[in-house]
Amino acid sequence: MGNDQENVCGKKMEIYSRIVGYFRPVSNWNGGKKEEFKDRLEYNVKNITEGKQVIDPVTISVKEKQSEQVKVAA
Beta strands 16-19 and 22-25, pairing class: antiparallel
DSSP state of 57: G
pLDDT tens profile 15-66:
888 767 777 788 888 899 888 888 887 777 777 666 666 565 555 566 666 6
Given pLDDT bands bounded at 50, 70 and 90, which one contains residue 12?
Answer: confident
**CA atoms 47, 53, 58, 63: torsion sign:** negative
Q: pTM of the prediction?
A: 0.35
Q: Is 25 exposed, middle or buried (0-12, 13-18, 19+ CB in 10 A)?
A: exposed
* Residue 2: predicted pLDDT: 47
Whether the Cβ atoms of residue 62 and residue 69 lie closer than 8 Å to each other: no
Beta-sheet pairing, 7-8 with 22-25: unpaired
